[in-house]
Structure 1
Amino acid sequence: MFKTILVPTDGSILSDKAIVAAIEFAKFANGKVIGLSVAEPYPFSPMAESTMAADPGTYEENMLALAQLHVQKVADAAKAAGVPCEILTAQAFNPDEEIITAAEKYGCDVIFMASHGRSGLSRLFLGSKTQRVLAHSTIPVLVLR
């Protein structure tokens, strides 16, 4: 049975569904939840240096603070349900790699995550973080839509 559930969140409504499902499952299985939010670093481009609008340090601090707010939702929901929970934030250009690394590091049995349902050209150009987690994870991944 799945006892340690990783639930990555980006703060979206779909991620909120994954949080609810993960907590309900953890409560049923007497398990725990690991909440993760990955902040993407400042998208620095040497070509655009003269047109930088924001301070990279401030941008990254703000993104990490936002990620902390996202995982706090996981912690608050878990506490309300009486489910043990740990939360963490990370900073990376490839959130899918951070998700897989966190699952390994915390000994997770399953990953509950949302899919934003992109298809066609937008999926081709934007890529799918969920799809990459599915392709590279060694543990089961439950995708919610």
Structure 2
Amino acid sequence: MFKSILFPTDGSDLSDQAAAIVVEFARLHQARILAISVVQPLLMPALGDSGAMLDAGQYETQMQDSARDHLNKVAAAASAGGIPFEGVIAMSPNPYEEIVDAAKKHGCDIIVMASHGRKGLNKLFLGSETQRVLSHTSLPVLVLR
């Protein structure tokens, strides 16, 4: 039924746990996994403790390296399960847009993502990328918690 699964990952423990479920889901459906890690750019220079400006280029490089590490973990799990895998790194202040666009661009049938399940003020202030994805895609979305 599902032949191409989009799996957004942020490298959190919850995402790492979800990766194992995504690999098994892909195996059951004989599907491929497209994992995406979205780097959010440094929108405004921030002052460190010493009052020094953070280097936006250095920040971007570190975040790209971190995103690559997140994808490598999913790639290793997919490889161990014999699942075809592709990884994508995107940069955007709005991760949900990149997730929805990647699903369209790569012809995915379903989006499988982890959710922290925030409630109350935490949800209000931190937002929910999962909720935004649900609101902006017509694809089925499987939410893991």
* In structure 2, C-alpha distance between the alignment counterparts of 1:109 and 1:52, rounded to whole Å: 46
Summarize the alignment of residues 118-137 of structure 1 with structure 2, pairs less than 5 Å apart: 118-137=118-137
* 1:41 aligned onto 2:44: no
- Mapped pair 1:103 → 2:97: no
Q: CA RMSD in A?
A: 1.7
Counterpart residue number, 2:84:
84
Are the equivalent residues in 2 in contact too, given 1:34–1:86 (CA < 8 A)? yes
SS in structure 2 opposite 1:53? coil
- Count of aligned residue pairs for this structure pair: 143
Report the TM-score, using the length of structure 1 for normalisation: 0.93
CA offsets 1:100-137 (integer angstroms, 9 cap, x no match):
00000110000110101111011112211000001111
Q: Provide the residue aligned with 1:28 in structure 2.
A: 28
Matched position secondary structure for 1:103: helix
Q: Deviations over 1:78-98 (max 9, x none)?
A: 001100000010111000110
Alignment-mate amino acid for residue 43 of structure 2: P
Provide Cα deviations, 1:2-60, integer angstroms capped at 9, x if missing partner.
110000000011111221111101111111000110011013159xxxx5531001101
- Confirm or deny: 8 A CA contact 1:17 1:144 kept in the other structure: no
| Corresponding residue for residue 67 of structure 2 | 67
Shift >2 Å, 4+ stretches = none
Is the partner of 1:86 in helix, strand or coil? strand
Decide whether the 8 Å contact of 2:3 with 2:29 is kept in 1: yes
Q: Is the 2:35–2:88 Cα contact (8 Å) retained in structure 1?
A: yes
- Equivalent pairs: percent with the same residue? 52
Larger helix fraction of residues: 1
In structure 2, C-alpha distance between the alignment counterparts of 1:29 and 1:55, rounded to whole Å: 44
Unaligned runs of 5+ in 2: none
**Structure 1 segments unaligned to the other structure (5+ residues):** none
